[in-house]
C-alpha cells in the first residue's frame, strides 16, 4: 500500500468552501481512480488554515498515476481557495491496523 500526503494552507475563511469542493468534486474523482483505497482529511488545531490529506493507494504506481494525471486538475479546481500550491510527499505504508497490513508486507 502507498500513501500521498498533501499539505496546504487555506486563504482566510475558505476552509468550508474547500470541504464542500472536496465532498462534491475531489472525493468522487478519487473514488473513480484505479487503486484508490481511502482518503483522510486533517485540519490544524493550532493553525486552523492548515490542511492535510492522506490518500491511500493499492500500489505506488496507482498513486503516481493519480498524481501525474489527475491531481493537477484537482489542485487547480481549488487553487483559488489556497495560499499557493500544496506540497505532496509519497510514502510506502509499512504497517497499518486499519488496512490489516503486517510489517514488511506492504505492496
Does 106 reside within a domain?
no
Give the CATH number of the domain where residue 75 resides.
Answer: 3.30.70.100
Number of domains in the chain: 1
Q: Please tell me the predicted confidence (pLDDT) of residue 104.
A: 53
Whole-angstrom Cα distance, residue 86 to residue 68? Answer: 14
Looking at the DSSP assignment, which residues form a beta bridge with residue 96? 101
Residue 34: give the domain boundaries.
2-92
Q: Please tell me the predicted confidence (pLDDT) of residue 37.
A: 95
The reply to whether the predicted model has a pTM over 0.85 is: yes
Does 100 reside within a domain?
no
Is the pLDDT at 106 greater than 80, yes or no?
Answer: no
Does 107 reside within a domain?
no
Does 101 reside within a domain?
no
Nearest one of 5, 9, 6 to 83, comparing CA atoms = 9
Nearest one of 87, 99, 95 to 37, comparing CA atoms = 99
Is the pLDDT at 105 greater than 60, yes or no?
Answer: no
Does 48 reside within a domain?
yes
Cβ-contact 75, 67 below 8 angstroms: no
Give tens-digit pLDDT for 35-75. 999 999 999 999 989 999 999 999 999 999 999 999 999 99
Residue 6: which pLDDT band, with cuts at 50, 70 and 90?
A: very high
Give tens-digit pLDDT for 20-32. 999 999 999 999 9
Looking at the DSSP assignment, which residues form a beta bridge with residue 41? 53
Amino acid at each position: 500500500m502507498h500513501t500521498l500526503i498533501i499539505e496546504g494552507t487555506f486563504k482566510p475563511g475558505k476552509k468550508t468552501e474547500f470541504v464542500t469542493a472536496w465532498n462534491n468534486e475531489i472525493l468522487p474523482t478519487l473514488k473513480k481512480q484505479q487503486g484508490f483505497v481511502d482518503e483522510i482529511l486533517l485540519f490544524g488545531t493550532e493553525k486552523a488554515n492548515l490542511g492535510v490529506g492522506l490518500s491511500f493507494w493499492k500500489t505506488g504506481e496507482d498513486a503516481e498515476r493519480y498524481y501525474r494525471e489527475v491531481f493537477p486538475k484537482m489542485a487547480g479546481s481549488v487553487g483559488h481557495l489556497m495560499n499557493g500550491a500544496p506540497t505532496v510527499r509519497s510514502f510506502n505504508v509499512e504497517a497499518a491496523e486499519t488496512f490489516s497490513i503486517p510489517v514488511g508486507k506492504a505492496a
